[in-house]
Amino acid sequence: MDQAERLRQIVKDLREKRYAYTQKARIITVTSGKGGVGKTNFTLNCAIALNAMGYRTLIIDADFGLSNIDVMLGMIPKYNLFHVITHKKRIEEVITEGPCGIKFIAGGSGIWELINLSRQDMEILMEQLERLDDLADIIMIDTGAGVSEKVIQMILAANEAIVITTPEPTSVTDAYALVKSVVNLKKDVNFKLVVNRADSVQEANDVMGKFIRVAQRFLDVNLEPLGYMLYDEAVIRSTKQQKPFVLEYPRSHAARQMHSMAQAIVAGRQRQDDRVQGFKGYVNQLLKLFNSKHKVL
């Protein structure tokens, strides 16, 4: 081990220790108003970048669209959350291991089956879900796109959300509508904004600045600028090759930006209630929202 490597190891150990104290996983939803803006690419590559920094990261694919995490990795998971809910599998058995040690739980309609569970089934499920807190430091949930009741509930249940938009006006207005719908119901969701597929740094900064100002002025909410990615052929190529761009094209602009966004995520100050939530807390919140008489939309 040379000196630099030793230093990296020390930093990694320290980080792991810091997260170990919190015991529960940090839950972050990745979402957008309009579809096809790069959520799944972001989630996957960000998880790999976080893992490389020493944070055990798990992805839950709650998107029922076409570009799923498994498709992006060219993997075919046998089981999903549905098998846990129906008691066919333990939670550990539905986790698929991706490149560089990232873990993911495939989509399927699993989460939505929760609503029909008996009390006893629910208790068994909760015991299983609690175990995810021991298996991951950070859990990222790819919610799928759109201002729908389910997406909003998934965001509301967590305290942190990464909203992705492209500079296209339709994408921006849909992202704004999504933030607005959430803020109307809960003021203190910690939103982070990512501008993807921008033509230039200037364009990314313009969109970012304007979005944040408008949200501050009209919704009275502070969005955190997480970062941006320019339009990058490396992302397109890696999607076709079913390989994450941070691994396939580590020197690409997109990969470098991704690493700096991953750093910003862990550097960002976490509030006390984000830390204590954990995955069990998240699912509990989600169930309350599912069962509540109030319509969120």
Ligand X SMILES: Nc1ncnc2c1ncn2[C@@H]1O[C@H](COP(=O)(O)OP(=O)(O)OP(=O)(O)O)[C@@H](O)[C@H]1O
By beta-carbon proximity to ligand X, the closer residue of 153 and 196 is 196
The span of 61-69, 116-124, 213-221, 254-262 binding Mg ion (CB under 5 A) equals: 61-69
Q: How far is the CB of 241 from Mg ion (least distance, A)?
A: 17
Distance of CA 90 to the CA centre of its chain: 23
* Under 8 Å between Cβ of 84 and 90: yes
Q: What is the DSSP string of 99-140?
A: GGG-EEE--SSHHHHGGG--HHHHHHHHHHHHTHHHH-SEEE
Site string for ligand X, 115-144 (x = CB under 6 A): -----------------------------x
244's contact among Mg ion, ligand X, none, with CB below 5 to 8 A by partner kind, is none
The span of 52-60, 61-69, 148-156, 179-187 binding ligand X (CB under 6 A) equals: 61-69
Phi, psi for residue 205 in degrees, rounded to 5: -65, -35
Determine if 254 is a binding residue for ligand X (CB under 6 A): yes
Distance of CA 195 to the CA centre of its chain: 15
Q: Which residues does residue 230 pair with via DSSP β-bridges, in sequence order?
A: 198
Determine if 153 is a binding residue for Mg ion (CB under 5 A): no
Determine if 32 is a binding residue for ligand X (CB under 6 A): yes
- Report the Cα–Cα distance between both ends of the chain, in Å, rounded: 56
The CA angle 290-292-296, to the nearest 5 degrees, is 75
Determine if 148 is a binding residue for ligand X (CB under 6 A): no
The span of 37-45, 77-85, 105-113, 268-276 binding Mg ion (CB under 5 A) equals: 37-45
Residues in CB range of 111: below 8 A, 6 or more apart: 62, 81, 154, 286
Q: How far is the CB of 220 from Mg ion (least distance, A)?
A: 30
Binder among 40, 57, 153, 165 for Mg ion (CB under 5 A): 40
Which among 30, 78, 44, 1 has a CA at the least distance from the CA of 255?
44
Determine if 35 is a binding residue for ligand X (CB under 6 A): yes
The CA angle 267-271-272, to the nearest 5 degrees, is 125
By beta-carbon proximity to Mg ion, the closer residue of 63 and 133 is 63
236's contact among Mg ion, ligand X, none, with CB below 5 to 8 A by partner kind, is ligand X
Determine if 40 is a binding residue for ligand X (CB under 6 A): yes
